[in-house]
Amino acid sequence: MAVKVAFMQLSSCWGCHQSLLNLHLGLLPVLPELDIVYWPAVVDFKMSSLEARPKGDVDVGFCEGCIRTEHDEHLAKLMREKCKLIISYGTCATYGSVKGLANQWKKEELLQRKFQQCESLGEPNDMVNKRDPELTPIADIVKPIDRVIKVDAYLPGCPPRKENILGAVAFLIKKNPTTMKKDTNVCATCKATPCILEKGKLCWGAITAGGCSLMCPNDNLTSCVGCYGTTNKIDKAKADKVKAMLNAKKASAEDANLIAQFILLYAGLPPQGSLYLVGDPLRKLALGAKMEFTDDVMGASLKALANNPNYKFANGNVCATCDRNGNMNKKMTQIKRYYEGPVYDTEQCFINQGYICMGPITQAGCGAQCPNNGNTYCYGCYGPVFGVTEQGARGISTIASLADVNIDEIKSKILDPVGLFYRFTLAASEINKKVDDKKGGEKKK
């Protein structure tokens, strides 16, 4: 059965929807699997058609844009009511994006600047007072959508790279392999001699559904890492052995990688860098969140990674996929800005050339599009690296630790530090949350 999908546009530029359309023919394989029930930006659906649907009728809702008006808040809540799963789609929805920079001023000041003082208006006018009273009221501050509704997954990017969107859609519509047999397990047809467990190596065939034609363990070397998911017929003796092995000693780096691979595949989690699921146990572990471990193989696998220094959560920064030659131990002896002239060196790291690149503090996922393909430094649109909430503060401290430049020169080159370092994430920053909390905002995570 096709997956029912709704796309919502809140305060945004429509670029995230455009990025989806940019998939062009790439959309063809997934379109038959989708039943698009609401997408006013592309198809003539009325809001009443979404309102008329029963609660939870839609499988997945993609919300693009931030909360800037009361109507945005209403639409976000409507999506939450109608959709089983909500994806925060793009940087506006996830962090507030550039629109969040407006939070530095009161809304009255913004309206005055825009409609009364802006140089391009020509003559001063009285548009603020002539605003149609039927227009939706503007909210006090810009908020990411998770300040208003509970979000299940995040797909950042301004806009998200089309490959990330396709990866997310493919993850959401994934279907069990037709050969999957839940009434048996991988061990039942395994030809490994001896069983890989006997050699002291982990293997999860005992708890994995059968029907796989690849049968990795048949080469006597490669463990089954649970791609087919849960079986209804566990091989109890072997499962107990795996559990005992996991509980016996601290997993080595090699085992920790294997265990993480098993958890990812068996639990059907999305690959890192495409879609960030709230409640993803691997992310929770990496953040040191308090977790309860079940008394089964999955619980023992997670426990084996908890507080284990051999386990490194793989979620890099933009630099990890950047092709430029960089040396992060090299001091910045000058600060350069774009307006000073073209960047002639297309191979050297921007930071090493004196430009402020947000790559080191921005989470991976875009494939370093700007430095690799655009001869442009990273502006940070995918949000902070994993485990960091304040992308701006981290950016300032990174540059401060690298710069061997007179402070007055730095100040003369960075005229708008908030706009530079918090360009995309001011509305999601801790400072902003405190302001919102004072105004009665609600965090729904």
Give the residues lining the site for ligand SF4 (CB under 6 A): 12-13, 15-16, 64-65, 90-92, 97, 158-159, 186-187, 190, 192, 195-197, 203, 205-206, 217, 224, 238, 318-319, 322, 324, 326, 349-351, 357, 359-360, 362, 366, 368-371, 377-382
Q: How, if at all, do strands 83-89 and 58-64 pair?
A: parallel
Nearer to ligand SF4, 224 or 285 (CB): 224
Tokens (6 digits) for 203? 């293997």
145 or 285: CB nearest ligand SF4: 145
Give the shortest CB-164-to-ligand SF4 separation in angstroms: 10
The Cα 95–Cα 421 span in angstroms is 13
In the complex, least distance from residue 44 CB atom to ligand SF4, rounded to whole angstroms: 21
Select 112 or 353, whichever has its Cβ closest to ligand SF4. 353
Query: Between 285 and 318, whose beta carbon lies closer to ligand SF4?
Result: 318
Q: Put residue 105 in one of left, alpha, beta given phi > 0 → left and psi -120 to 50 → alpha.
A: beta
Q: DSSP label at 403?
A: B
* Cα–Cα distance for residue pair 164/157, rounded to 1 Å: 9
Task: Tell me the C-alpha distance between 345 and 329, whole Å.
Answer: 19
Nearer to ligand SF4, 61 or 371 (CB): 371
Cβ proximity to ligand SF4, 285 vs 362, nearer residue = 362
Query: Whose CA is closest to 198, among 159, 237, 147?
Result: 237
Minimum CB–partner distance for residue 134 and ligand SF4 (Å): 25
157: phi then psi, degrees, rounded to nearest 5: 125, 145
Taking alpha carbons only, the member of 193, 237, 187 closest to residue 210 is: 187
Nearer to ligand SF4, 87 or 351 (CB): 351
Q: How far is the CB of 39 from ligand SF4 (least distance, A)?
A: 15
Minimum distance from residue 66 beta carbon to ligand SF4 (Å) = 7
Instruction: Using alpha carbons, list the distances in angstroms from residue 371 to 44, 305, 321, 331.
Output: 38, 35, 10, 20
Tell the smallest beta-carbon distance from residue 118 to ligand SF4 (Å): 21
Q: In this structure, are residues 280 and 305 in contact, taking their beta carbons and an 8 Å threshold?
A: no
> Half-sphere exposure (CA, 13 Å, Cβ side) for 439?
15
What is the smallest separation between the CB atom of 161 and ligand SF4, expressed in angstroms? 7
In the chain, DSSP finds a helix count (H) and a strand count (E) of 16, 10
